[in-house]
Structure 1
Amino acid sequence: MKRKNITVTVIISVAVFIIGTKNVNAYNGTKKIIPIELPELTVSEAIVIDDDTEDLLEEITGSECDFKSVTSKEDLPSFYSSDQAKNRDNVTPVRNQGITALCWNYAAIGAVESDLLSHHEELVADELNLSEKHGAFYNMHKAEKHGDGGIDNDYREFVFDEKDNFLSKYQTSYLSVGGVTNYSMSLFTAWKGPVKDRDNNSIHVIKGQNDFYIQNADVPSDAYEAECHVQNVLEIPASAKNRDVIKQMIIEHGSVTASVCADNQYWTGKKVALYDYKSYGNGNYADHEILIVGWNDEYPAKNFITKPSSDGAFICKNSWGMKNGASGYFYLSYEDTILNNNNVVAYNSVLPEDDGWYDNNYQYAGFITHITDPMEDRKNVVYMYDKNDAHYGITFIPESDEELSAIGYFSMSSCTNDKVYIYEVPKEYSVVPDVKMLAEAIGQSDEAANDGLLSGFSYIDTDKLGKPLTTINCKAITGGYHTFELNKTLDVKAGTEYLIVVCPGQKTKLIYEKAMDSTTGFHKDEWQHTLGAIHTVNTASGHSYLQDITGTAMVKQTDKDFFVKAYTKVQQKNSH
């Protein structure tokens, strides 16, 4: 959750491949394939959406997928609380995370619950309770049997010394993994939950440094059970210029998650009001996730332990139980340093009976964040390419005859205006050269080819694909993860390969999941229990592609996957 200075590693691909396009074993019909040069960034959590606009609202045209989330025909009131919205309560009761480190998932689950309540009158706040345990468990355990298996081999887990006889037995170290909203975004957009909080999906004990590990050892339900599908995760920086946009997001979705520093020095005595007044950085970083459910423009500045320059505060729901703060709530100054240097996040979810519920989710990148330390967020990182406008995407092969209804992808920028093209890929246009012959053709030894850049090299010849099957105009005001529906569903055939190409309308950072098999050193919790070492496995699926310099080929990525998803519905067979 805490940020430090960005470190940059530049990866330069200098090889030029002369590859036969008529026959994979013949090099007489040649095509130049020049891998693109993009600088890589390794960014400490929590990442912040790039937002260079002076006023987001002035950029709105009305055709954005999140238009309703950020605009209103009515003037914003000076006071608003989602638990009193139009005589309706859109906020579930205050929960208590106890001594777990799962504030990130308590906040995210609260946001999903508020969104569902805001759009489904049949739901009741006191009866809606989704599980924080389920997502936290699969954040640190392998999930299996997902559709075509696209992310089955992306997982992280705790591993132990053979002499450990405590947490290796109970497998509950995940309860002490602190984090950021990107954990929940990865889980929920993969359709790993949310599920109802009951039976094995409940956290039974929240106190006792031994008991809360031992008494919560029952394994939650299957990873891909879900009461709802999260289809959009809207993120914007919580800067002063975006305050009205944030307020509108709260009205539309019931709440937004936010980051704060919960150090005692910034609170009033009863934790009713919070204001971090110190400069950002140099040890002053976020360490807690909370839920903003409303605001009061006239909340007195004098009520904070250190007086901000003006009145006004957000109304926040915490996850420390009813005895904390004002029955579990507190005021957060508009000027809070941590708030203003991080994102706020709204979730948009659908139930099975809603429009926008899909049957299948073809996806190949499992996790945004690489976790290297469960206790210090700033040591956890996200991999991305620096700002560029290179085309990228995925291929997918339907398991049955289906209808392609929508696509989704992650954006690191606000105010995006992209195009997405979808192609059918005949087998002869997906070129897989013979590595040894290719190496000889360009003067490299086959040993170098097998060990280096040429190993596993293949590409799709976009010159030969012809016109796309369909084109989608993808516009969004917020950053984060968005789902875009096709204007008309597209029939896709079982066993046929399809290519989805995202063409950015501006230069933007491009997040990816880096392939790896790595293990950290051993970690301890605050009571010196050995949590284990974090073993991360991310397997490149072979479904992710990045354009070459010429723009006439999409090159298969053998060391990463992109966060692009394809949503389909099963075709209904005629009953007669």
Structure 2
Amino acid sequence: MKNLPILRSICLILLSAPLLTAQDRAGDLPSAFDLRTVGGVTPIKRQQGGTCWAHGTMAAIESNLLVSGVWKKIGDGDVPSLSEYHLDWWNGFNQHKNNDHPDAIKDRTGLNVHFGGDYRVSAAYISRGDGVVGVPLTDKKAIVMPALGIALDPSSYRVALGHIDPRYQRYYVRDIEWFTIGDNLENIDAIKRRVISQGAVGTAMAVNKGLMAKDFVHYQPLQHTSKPNHAIAIVGWDDDKVSADPDKKLPKPGCWLIKNSWGVERGDKGYYWISYYDKVCCRDPEMGAVSFRNVESMKYSHVYYHDYHGWRDTMKDVAKAFNLFTASANHRLSSLSFYTAADDVRYTAKIYSRFEKGELQGLRATKSGTIQRAGFHTVDLDAAVDVKKGETFIICLELSRGGQAFDRTSEIEVLLQPKGKAKQPAGPKGPNGGPIVISKANPGESFYHDGTAWRDLYEHRFDNPKWATFDKTANFCMKALIAK
């Protein structure tokens, strides 16, 4: 699929030599590896429309369920088949549904359904608890062709499947982490170890006929101008792989094994290779390598949040921030989620009861630790905190570096969208010509500490005058997860 929106306003701070997690450092690496040989991939699918980003996401999540052994314990069937089109319809960034802006269809703001998305869109959808879902196969909806190795998503492409349905199997991704390979491949081993230990890793490429060799080896030189336009999944590697095509020489040996979403009749039964030295794959800061790990059955009944669209920007100079919520029922708060914009971040999260006279009061719980990789993270409290209907509760988060992630009305460069006018959103455009996705905020929801006092983020004025019209739309990315 050729469409990937890349949000350039977000900067990840990735260290060349971060602290390594157990998954990143354990064991010697083989010169070649293939998840297919260990039962770590699901069948090739054939996407419809511009949904490669959803297929890249689900390929990685399905693989994690297999590699971690979770699917063997809880799965219904031989392999998971998660719904790309539930993500496609219900991600909240398109004109079909935006809870922050119910008039998205009327004023044509947001992305067109089936033509736009990226791994940050996926992360926002996952973090809200809207997905991931497995949709039961039925004779009416399933399009499964085992003889061709094709398993089209059983949910509908042309007509939206239901948002919430008790028949769905629901899953939650606890951690979504962004990697880059580094200018000199200094982080390549960390990516390889994630593939072995956590399954397929999402990434991107620039599809261009002139870049693919006859033996299905892709390489985009650094000087080539094509931008990322297709999302895929890494399922292995071969350090000695080269192309036999005399017209497509690689700078050096070494390629990633790629799972695509164009059916088994494309490439080598749906797979192909991308050089380690490709301009986009594992190098683009927004499209990664992106690891979806610690996938589990959904164990939360409710998620409190103000950041409907997740991580859209970062206040790099803010270390302390909080979100204030009012309980809609008697709930037991068991876990928290948030983003880190840098590697190797020490965090301290505290739960308070109220905010009065400029001070946080009524400390209920504290949780601290270190996050090794930039991205989305879920942490469990040492003991659950009970809140009663109508009571306020506060998540206060202090981060050692990178700043605080926040949501706001944002422009998205929809590089995954076809250039034809019929596919482009017809609504208002941002300063760079991209479609606008509207976020909503209210006074008294998110606060940051400026070194002297707590300030309401709703009243913050962003420095860039081009974004002035997007003031009063920001909220910090902190969520409270309620145990079932």
Normalising by structure 1, we get a TM-score of: 0.67
Gaps of 5+ in 2: 145-155, 428-435, 460-471
Match of 1:566 among 465, 473, 480: 480
SS at match of 1:241: coil
- 5 Å-filtered alignment, 1:429-508, equals 429-430=355-356, 460-462=358-360, 465=361, 468-506=363-401, 508=402
Aligned in 2, Cα 1:48/1:389: closer, same or farther, shift over 3 Å? closer
Q: Which residue of 2 aligns with 1:105?
A: 54
CA contact (8 A) 1:48 1:237 kept: no
Q: CA deviation at 1:362?
A: 0.8
For residues 132 and 565 of structure 1, what CA distance do their matches in structure 2 show? 24
Greater mean alpha carbon deviation, residues 89-98 or residues 389-398? 389-398
Q: CA deviation at 1:203?
A: 9.0
Q: Which residue of 2 aligns with 1:383?
A: 313
Q: Which residue of 2 aligns with 1:50?
A: 13
Please tell me whether residue 193 in structure 1 is matched to residue 193 in structure 2: no
Q: Which residue of 2 aligns with 1:408?
A: 337
- The one-letter code of the counterpart of 1:533 is A
For residues 117 and 244 of structure 2, what CA distance do their matches in structure 1 show? 32
CA contact (8 A) 2:322 2:395 kept: yes
For residues 66 and 212 of structure 2, what CA distance do their matches in structure 1 show? 30
Q: CA deviation at 1:489?
A: 2.2
- 5 Å-filtered alignment, 1:281-296, equals 283-296=225-238
CA contact (8 A) 2:319 2:400 kept: no
- The one-letter code of the counterpart of 1:105 is A
Aligned in 2, Cα 1:275/1:125: closer, same or farther, shift over 3 Å? farther
For residues 340 and 130 of structure 1, what CA distance do their matches in structure 2 show? 24
CA contact (8 A) 2:334 2:481 kept: yes
Q: CA deviation at 1:532?
A: 5.1
Q: Which residue of 2 aligns with 1:341?
A: 283
For residues 304 and 203 of structure 1, what CA distance do their matches in structure 2 show? 43
CA contact (8 A) 1:155 1:366 kept: no
For residues 140 and 475 of structure 2, what CA distance do their matches in structure 1 show? 30
Q: Which residue of 2 aligns with 1:529?
A: 422
For residues 196 and 118 of structure 2, what CA distance do their matches in structure 1 show? 23
Q: Which residue of 2 aligns with 1:129?
A: 81
Please tell me whether residue 253 in structure 1 is matched to residue 198 in structure 2: yes
For residues 159 and 392 of structure 2, what CA distance do their matches in structure 1 show? 40
Q: Which residue of 2 aligns with 1:446?
A: none
SS at match of 1:245: helix
CA contact (8 A) 1:278 1:284 kept: no
**Could you list the per-position Cα deviations for residues 124-176 of structure 1 after superposition, in whole angstroms to 9, with x for gaps in the alignment?**
88542111111111232565xxxxxxx84356844489xxxxxxxxxx9512x
SS at match of 2:256: strand
For residues 304 and 223 of structure 1, what CA distance do their matches in structure 2 show? 53
Q: Which residue of 1 aligns with 2:149?
A: none
Please tell me whether residue 275 in structure 1 is matched to residue 219 in structure 2: yes
CA contact (8 A) 1:275 1:305 kept: no
Q: CA deviation at 1:226?
A: 5.5
Please tell me whether residue 547 in structure 1 is matched to residue 448 in structure 2: yes
Q: CA deviation at 1:113?
A: 0.7
User: Looking at CA atoms only, which structure, 1 or 2, has the larger radius of gyration?
Assistant: 1
For residues 514 and 472 of structure 1, what CA distance do their matches in structure 2 show? 27
Q: Which residue of 2 aligns with 1:312?
A: 254
- The one-letter code of the counterpart of 1:298 is D
Please tell me whether residue 538 in structure 1 is matched to residue 439 in structure 2: yes
- The one-letter code of the counterpart of 2:406 is Y
> How many residues are paired up?
432
Greater mean alpha carbon deviation, residues 302-311 or residues 398-407? 302-311
Aligned in 2, Cα 1:564/1:142: closer, same or farther, shift over 3 Å? farther
For residues 234 and 96 of structure 1, what CA distance do their matches in structure 2 show? 26
Q: Which residue of 1 aligns with 2:209?
A: 264
Q: CA deviation at 1:93?
A: 0.5
Q: CA deviation at 1:509?
A: 4.2
Match of 2:407 among 500, 503, 513: 513
Q: Which residue of 2 aligns with 1:297?
A: 239
CA contact (8 A) 1:275 1:333 kept: yes
For residues 420 and 200 of structure 1, what CA distance do their matches in structure 2 show? 48
For residues 156 and 504 of structure 1, what CA distance do their matches in structure 2 show? 36
Q: Which residue of 1 aligns with 2:353?
A: 424
Q: CA deviation at 1:349?
A: 4.9
Aligned in 2, Cα 1:553/1:526: closer, same or farther, shift over 3 Å? closer
Match of 1:78 among 26, 31, 37: 31
Aligned in 2, Cα 1:408/1:528: closer, same or farther, shift over 3 Å? closer
Q: CA deviation at 1:275?
A: 0.8
**Could you list the per-position Cα deviations for residues 322-363 of structure 1 after superposition, in whole angstroms to 9, with x for gaps in the alignment?**
0111100011111111124222111125443x8xx2222111
For residues 349 and 139 of structure 2, what CA distance do their matches in structure 1 show? 41
Q: CA deviation at 1:68?
A: 3.9
SS at match of 1:137: helix
Please tell me whether residue 244 in structure 1 is matched to residue 189 in structure 2: yes
Greater mean alpha carbon deviation, residues 486-495 or residues 540-549? 540-549
- The one-letter code of the counterpart of 2:175 is N
Aligned in 2, Cα 1:531/1:55: closer, same or farther, shift over 3 Å? closer
CA contact (8 A) 1:474 1:484 kept: no
**Could you list the per-position Cα deviations for residues 479-515 of structure 1 after superposition, in whole angstroms to 9, with x for gaps in the alignment?**
1100111122223333221111111112x14332225
For residues 340 and 314 of structure 2, what CA distance do their matches in structure 1 show? 11
CA contact (8 A) 1:201 1:221 kept: no
CA contact (8 A) 1:90 1:125 kept: no
SS at match of 1:388: coil
Q: CA deviation at 1:564?
A: 0.9
Aligned in 2, Cα 1:479/1:127: closer, same or farther, shift over 3 Å? same
**Could you list the per-position Cα deviations for residues 255-296 of structure 1 after superposition, in whole angstroms to 9, with x for gaps in the alignment?**
1001111111110135x111111337xx33211110001111
CA contact (8 A) 1:384 1:509 kept: yes
SS at match of 2:36: helix
- The one-letter code of the counterpart of 2:209 is N
For residues 81 and 332 of structure 1, what CA distance do their matches in structure 2 show? 14
CA contact (8 A) 1:186 1:368 kept: yes
Q: CA deviation at 1:199?
A: 6.0
- The one-letter code of the counterpart of 2:159 is D
Normalising by structure 2, we get a TM-score of: 0.79
Q: CA deviation at 1:392?
A: 1.1
CA contact (8 A) 2:457 2:475 kept: no
Gaps of 5+ in 1: 4-42, 61-66, 144-150, 162-171, 206-214, 370-381, 432-459, 571-576
Please tell me whether residue 184 in structure 1 is matched to residue 146 in structure 2: no
Q: Which residue of 2 aligns with 1:146?
A: none
For residues 208 and 412 of structure 2, what CA distance do their matches in structure 1 show? 31
Match of 1:230 among 166, 170, 173: 173
- The one-letter code of the counterpart of 1:236 is F
For residues 203 and 140 of structure 2, what CA distance do their matches in structure 1 show? 25
Please tell me whether residue 92 in structure 1 is matched to residue 42 in structure 2: yes
For residues 41 and 214 of structure 2, what CA distance do their matches in structure 1 show? 26
Q: Which residue of 2 aligns with 1:361?
A: 303
- The one-letter code of the counterpart of 1:81 is D
